[in-house]
């Protein structure tokens, strides 16, 4: 298994539950594991009954297991502050207000959330040397994946900018004004340096997402969820990110043979429909079904989590970096 493991899918299908269970399984196998959750509504904090924050913290009662929670709202806010700070260093105070307004507006656009979250994901991946495995309870979607084409875009931009700067510096030097000052401008240009840094960050992200990451999609045995999963597979494939498997969660348990009441009849009908859908999933997707997890009566936490982890037929051993 790759170092970075993503569990994607629609809200409520069980991403957080399954990633926590997989994280636990991985930790129990002796790998130092970090579970990263991104959903403020129901997250690892609920699963482990322990409040996690923006930085990794050890999970009580489990060896090798760490968790953190990224709050997308907070990330957008941090992003905003950071950009303003960087801009503030580079432009005249008079322009700062105008730029502030622009930046604030751009952060209200739908992509801002995803973009800030993606930056944080990359940040976590870049700073994860001490972990053998990092499990994310969301997979990148179309919006964030589009960011992967940013390096090429930035490359062109940086080249044009460099060219312009060089030309103006040449002119400057020809006008015989001291040589030191202009050269420093070209070498230490803060805007070019920042673009270069962004470009490298997205190059790193593309590389790691393609070569060191595995993607699983979590779905429920219902039509809507199956359709959504089809779309997610297409989206990921379009960006060369191969889906390793599907996790079918919240499958209705069969009643015992000798049960014959109204409830048992309902459950049998329900189970038959779900069985057909699961067959359909196995037939129509190329990706293997790696787990079929039944609905539990209670929220999946505590000892139930280890129980769900057993259902997961997903390997935990680390793949050596060079292997596929
Ligand atoms: N197999 C299951 N049996 C019972 N409850 C489940 C199961 N899987 C998930 N749940 C519950 O469903 C809700 C949504 O699950 P969650 O993992 O938070 O989904 P997501 O992260 O995809 O939004 C939670 O309350 C969780 O405890
Ligand atoms: Mg969740």
Give the per-residue SS3 of 88-137.
Answer: HHHCCHHHHHHHHHHHHHHCCCCHHHHHHHHHHHHHHHHCCCCCCEEEEC
**Which atom of ligand 1 is nearest to 12's Cα?**
23
DSSP 68: E
**73 vs 276, which has greater pLDDT?**
276
User: Could you tell me which residues are beta bridge partners of residue 66?
Assistant: 34, 58
User: Could you tell me which residues are beta bridge partners of residue 45?
Assistant: none
Is 260 a member of any domain? yes
Q: Which residue has the least CA distance to atom 13 on ligand 1?
A: 12
Supply the pLDDT for residue 39.
Answer: 73
CA of 296 to the centre of ligand 1 (A): 9
Q: For ligand 1, which residues put their CB under 6 angstroms from it?
A: 9, 11-17, 39, 42, 137, 249-250, 293, 295-296, 299-300
Structure tokens at 210: 């393609």
CA of 220 to the centre of ligand 1 (A): 10
Q: Give the whole-angstrom CA distance, residue 158 versus residue 189.
A: 11
The number of folded domains in the chain is 1
Supply the pLDDT for residue 222.
Answer: 96
Confidence check: pLDDT of 75 > 70:
yes
Supply the pLDDT for residue 268.
Answer: 94
**Ligand 2 is a single-atom ion; what residues have CB below 5 A from it?**
15-16, 39
Is 301 a member of any domain? yes
User: What H or E segment, with its residue span, contains residue 22?
Assistant: helix 15-28
Supply the pLDDT for residue 188.
Answer: 66
CA of 223 to the centre of ligand 2 (A): 20
Q: Which residue has the least CA distance to atom 23 on ligand 1?
A: 12
Supply the pLDDT for residue 324.
Answer: 44
Is 315 a member of any domain? no
Among all bound ligands, the one having the nearest atom to the CA of 69 is 2
Q: Which residue has the least CA distance to atom 11 on ligand 1?
A: 299
pLDDT band at 185 (very low <50, low <70, confident <90, very high): low
Q: Which residue has the least CA distance to atom 8 on ligand 1?
A: 14
Note the maximum CA span of the chain: 98
**SS3 of 141-186:** CHHHHHHHHHHHHHHHHHHHHHHHHHHHHHHHHHCCCCCHHHHHHH
**Which atom of ligand 1 is nearest to 13's Cα?**
22
Q: Give the whole-angstrom CA distance, residue 174 versus residue 155.
A: 28
User: Ligand 1, from 10, 15, 17, 303: best to mutate by most atoms within 8 Å of Cβ?
Assistant: 17
Is 320 a member of any domain? no
**Per-residue exposure over 51-61, b if at least 16 CB sit within 10 Å of its own CB, e if not:** ebeeebeebee
Site of tokens 């379009």 = 238
CA of 274 to the centre of ligand 2 (A): 23
What's the rounded mean pLDDT across residues 232-257?
Answer: 93
Is 317 a member of any domain? no
Q: Which residue has the least CA distance to atom 15 on ligand 1?
A: 14
Confidence check: pLDDT of 317 > 60:
yes
Is 319 a member of any domain? no
**123 vs 169, which has greater pLDDT?**
123
Contact 290, 9 (CB under 8 A): no
Supply the pLDDT for residue 11.
Answer: 87
DSSP 51: -
Per the prediction, the chain carries an average pLDDT of 84
pLDDT band at 159 (very low <50, low <70, confident <90, very high): confident
- What CATH number does residue 143 fall under? 3.40.50.300
**208 vs 319, which has greater pLDDT?**
208
Is 318 a member of any domain? no
**Which of 88, 148, 90, 158 shows the shortest CA–CA distance to 119?**
148
Among all bound ligands, the one having the nearest atom to the CA of 7 is 1
Instruction: Give the structural domain span for 155.
Output: 4-309
Confidence check: pLDDT of 157 > 90:
no
Q: Which residue has the least CA distance to atom 16 on ligand 1?
A: 14
**Which of 314, 115, 120, 113 shows the shortest CA–CA distance to 218?**
314
**Which atom of ligand 1 is nearest to 37's Cα?**
21
Q: Give the whole-angstrom CA distance, residue 196 versus residue 194.
A: 5
Is 166 a member of any domain? yes
CA of 41 to the centre of ligand 2 (A): 7
**243 vs 160, which has greater pLDDT?**
243
Q: At what angle do helices 111-126 and 190-211 cross, to 10 degrees?
A: 80
**Strands 213-219, 289-294: pairing kind:** unpaired
Supply the pLDDT for residue 148.
Answer: 73
């Amino acid at each position: 298994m790759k170092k970075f493991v993503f569990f994607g899918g629609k809200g409520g299908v069980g991403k957080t539950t399954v990633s926590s269970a997989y994280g636990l399984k991985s930790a129990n196998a002796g790998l130092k594991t970090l579970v990263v959750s991104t959903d403020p509504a129901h997250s690892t904090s609920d699963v482990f009954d322990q409040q996690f924050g923006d930085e990794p913290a050890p999970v009580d009662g489990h060896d090798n297991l760490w968790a953190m929670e990224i709050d997308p709202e907070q990330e957008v806010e941090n992003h905003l502050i950071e950009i303003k700070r960087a801009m503030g260093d580079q432009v005249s105070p008079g322009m700062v207000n105008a730029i502030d307004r622009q930046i604030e507006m751009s952060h209200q656009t739908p992509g801002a959330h995803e973009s800030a979250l993606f930056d944080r994901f990359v940040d976590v991946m870049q700073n994860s040397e001490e972990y053998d495995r990092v499990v994310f309870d969301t997979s990148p979607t179309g919006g964030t994946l589009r960011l992967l084409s940013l390096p090429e875009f930035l490359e062109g931009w940086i080249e044009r900018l460099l060219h312009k700067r060089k030309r103006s510096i040449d002119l400057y030097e020809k006008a015989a004004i001291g040589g030191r000052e202009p050269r420093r401008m070209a070498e230490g240009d803060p805007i070019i340096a920042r673009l270069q840094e962004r470009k490298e960050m997205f190059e790193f992200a593309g590389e790691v997402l393609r070569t060191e990451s595995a993607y699983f999609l979590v779905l429920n045995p219902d039509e809507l969820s199956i359709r959504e999963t089809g779309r997610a597979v297409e989206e990921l494939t379009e960006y060369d990110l191969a889906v390793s498997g599907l996790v079918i969660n919240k499958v209705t348990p069969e009643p015992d043979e000798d049960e014959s009441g109204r409830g048992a009849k309902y459950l049998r009908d329900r189970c038959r429909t779900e069985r057909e859908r699961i067959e359909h999933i196995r037939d129509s997707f190329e990706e293997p079904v790696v787990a079929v997890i039944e609905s539990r009566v209670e929220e999946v936490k505590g000892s139930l989590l280890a129980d769900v982890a057993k259902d997961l037929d997903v390997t935990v051993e680390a793949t050596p970096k060079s292997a596929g």
